[in-house]
Amino acid sequence: MAEELQVGFVGNPNCGKTTLFNAYTGARLKVANWPGVTVEKKEGAMKYHDHVFKLVDLPGIYSLTSYTMEEKLTRQYILESDVDVIIDVADASALERNLYLTLQLIELGKPVILALNMMDIVEERGMEIDMHRLPEMLGIPVIPVSARKRTGLDILMHAVAHHKDKRKDNNLEHHHPEKEASRHRHEHHDEYTVVYSDEIEDKIDAIILRLRSDGKVKTKNYRWYALKLLEKDEEITAECGLDLSDIIDRSYETDIINQKYDFIEEIIEECLVNKNKKAAVTDRIDRWLTGNVTGLPCFLLIMAVVFFFTFTVGDWLKGYFEAALDQVNAAVSAGLEALGAGEVLQSLIVDGIISGVGGVLTFLPNIFILFLALALLEDSGYMSRVAYVMDSLMSKLGLSGRAFIPMILGFGCTVPAVMASRALEDPKDRRRTVLVTPFMSCSARLPVYVLFAEMFFGSAAMPAAFSMYVIGMAVAILAAFLMHKVDRSGGMNPLLIELPEYKTPNTRTIAIYVWDKVKDYLTKAGTTIFVASIFIWFLLNFGTEGMTQDMSASFGASIGRVLAPLLAPAGLGMWQIALALISGLAAKEVVVSSFAVLFGISNINSAAGMTGLAEILAGYGFGALNAYCLMIFCLLYVPCIATLAMIHRELKSWKWTGVSVLLQLGCAWLVSTLVFQIGSLF
């Protein structure tokens, strides 16, 4: 029988850990430079000769303290699960910082293998790493790999298969000339990778004695327990329950960190040749992208390019989708006719499902390009620079520059954007970011803008649609500013984010990311939008008298008529619009498919469909100003049920979820009413 091994992947953020993981499993994981992005445990499996390896991707972390959720989770997993081998993925081009986590992992006592990733970058920079000396000093196997070029992958798994039983390697060799004179009772240099000062080693020995005689703590690794007690780690201190105040007179956490770094400096001194030989390209790029004068214009330019591609290339591709949809529609109609399908069934399939789901599917190219652009920005390393560039503005709003990243992600989809706000440490910061992120125009709202802008604004369609993004950002910023004024707390700017090296985005990483998003979109079209389309079709074709040809006698019309007066001040006082907006709560794209169903237009995005719809709407006195107000309302009101569910999950409060709904509805009504009333004056 094949032997099953559990292998955990641990590493710093931005070290290429997830790329390496993907190289083995091909799992559809999101890969990004955003710390904590893989906060959910991801698993995959692979076969290696006689072994079955279960691979687990853990969140990117810098250390193993118990101060953050990700670090706690990783520590618990390593200590408590049946993990057999830990692969510590390190960015070889930033070895000094990466080794800190390595030393902490080694102290946990499970077999660790160091995978030195990004060796290609090390070579490019003319640096060399002594691959003989490094494993000697660490006492663990060190395997050079390149996740991007897919080299060293087999050798790494070979090491996993062979290293699994070794709790301790005996090839540790230290040369500590100055320490040889040490008179410490115990010579630990051939036992442990990191040996601390005599003072700390004495205390460790004393604590271990007490732990052993007490016998309450069951562990094979007393040394780690002793170290954690010396660091005054809350979890471990509570678990131990002994009074050790005679030994532990203060927290030795800083000393322990300092001494680990002292040892890392020794390693770097011995193992790294030609440090900083070549100035990193990153510094040259950063001179522009994070420059005080050039940073902001560069950011705006990049965003403008992203939207330009989303609209132009997306629309060009959309043309082909529409033509295909026309043909499908004609073929299905003819097929149903030939089969002699009943009127109700024909209406359900053609008017309900095809116009609803199909109308939304034609936006796939726009959405594909937007997510491709966001993936490129993340994977290249630019995204975290945005936090720095936007920091001056954000700190005026009482937010950390980091809060801008969830907001940018909000251009893609509000659900993961709200989730990304987790990386903010301060709970108040997090709450305010969660409250304003839904104002950032997500890709689901794009279909609404594209449809109405093209219908009513002709050649000015692109600026009209683009203005939605600007209005959304303005409302978000204004809302954040007002909230900051209301509750004046904090004032300190706690921005702390790593700016990783720029790199050429990895095709595989990008492909997995974009496919994941496209799949989500298709799934949504097949489920939520499918069901919503049928539901809307039912509401519109059935009334108190059963199936009806007269839509104004339908259930939907009755509901819409109740709400229409409320929307009248915003120029949206039609029952059809009220109904379309309610249906948009399922997903924003549904607003488009609802219009298609409501006005009986089979291919709403075709030129003929748009002309038809525009004519019908004009008959109701609905013009360009009304269309613009509708776009604003769609921009600002509740994004979708899924977003509300995520907001509730993140804020863990019904009160704040309610506040968020009221804020969205209030802003949508207020801004669209203002625009309509002022616009009507001219």
Partner 1 sequence: MTLRDGEKGKGYRVLDVSLGRAAKIRLEALGMTNGTTVFIMNKKRNGSMVVKVRGTRFAFGSGIAGAVAVEERRED
Residues of the shown chain interacting with partner 1 in the complex, contacts defined by CB under 8 A = 62-63, 65, 67, 93-97, 100, 253-254, 257-258, 261, 276, 282-283, 286, 290-292, 384-385, 387-388, 391-392, 395, 400-401, 492-500
Q: DSSP secondary-structure letter at 197? A: -
To the nearest whole angstrom, how small is the minimum distance from the Cβ of residue 304 to partner 1?
23
Q: Which residue has the tokens 């309900």?
A: 352
In a 10 Å sphere around its CB, with 0-12 CB exposed, 13-18 middle and 19+ buried, how is residue 97 labelled?
A: middle
Residue 457 token pair: 């604004």
Residue closer to partner 1 (CB basis): 198 or 286: 286
To the nearest whole angstrom, how small is the minimum distance from the Cβ of residue 221 to partner 1?
20
The amino acid sitting at 506 is N
Residue closer to partner 1 (CB basis): 386 or 415: 386
How many CB atoms sit inside 10 A of residue 333's CB? 16
To the nearest whole angstrom, how small is the minimum distance from the Cβ of residue 390 to partner 1?
10
Residue closer to partner 1 (CB basis): 295 or 639: 295
Which helix (H) or strand (E) is 468 found in, with range? helix 461-486
Residue 151 pairs in a beta bridge with 146
| φ, ψ for residue 3, nearest 5 deg | -90, 135
To the nearest whole angstrom, how small is the minimum distance from the Cβ of residue 480 to partner 1?
16
- What is the b/e burial string over 364-403, where b = at least 16 CB atoms within 10 angstroms of the residue's CB? bbbbbbbbbbbbbbbbbbbbbbbbbbbbeebbebbbbbbb
To the nearest whole angstrom, how small is the minimum distance from the Cβ of residue 188 to partner 1?
22
To the nearest whole angstrom, how small is the minimum distance from the Cβ of residue 493 to partner 1?
3
* Distance set, CA 235 to CA 41, 58, 70, 209, 339 (Å): 22, 21, 15, 20, 70
To the nearest whole angstrom, how small is the minimum distance from the Cβ of residue 292 to partner 1?
6
Residue closer to partner 1 (CB basis): 356 or 401: 401
**Cβ–Cβ < 8 Å for 631, 452:** yes
To the nearest whole angstrom, how small is the minimum distance from the Cβ of residue 258 to partner 1?
5
Residue closer to partner 1 (CB basis): 66 or 552: 66
What is the spatial distance between Cα 104 and Cα 66, in angstroms, rounded to a whole number?
A: 13
To the nearest whole angstrom, how small is the minimum distance from the Cβ of residue 399 to partner 1?
10
Residue closer to partner 1 (CB basis): 59 or 573: 59
Angle at 457 between CA 454 and CA 458, to 5 degrees: 65
**Cβ–Cβ < 8 Å for 56, 48:** no
Residue closer to partner 1 (CB basis): 96 or 487: 96
Residue 104 token pair: 């902490």
Closest among 326, 408, 412, 324 to 368, alpha carbons compared: 412
What is the spatial distance between Cα 630 and Cα 613, in angstroms, rounded to a whole number?
A: 15
Residue closer to partner 1 (CB basis): 97 or 179: 97
| φ, ψ for residue 142, nearest 5 deg | -125, 125
Residue closer to partner 1 (CB basis): 105 or 451: 105
- Cα-trace Rg, the chain: 30
Sign of CA dihedral 631, 636, 641, 646: positive
To the nearest whole angstrom, how small is the minimum distance from the Cβ of residue 140 to partner 1?
20
Residue closer to partner 1 (CB basis): 276 or 312: 276
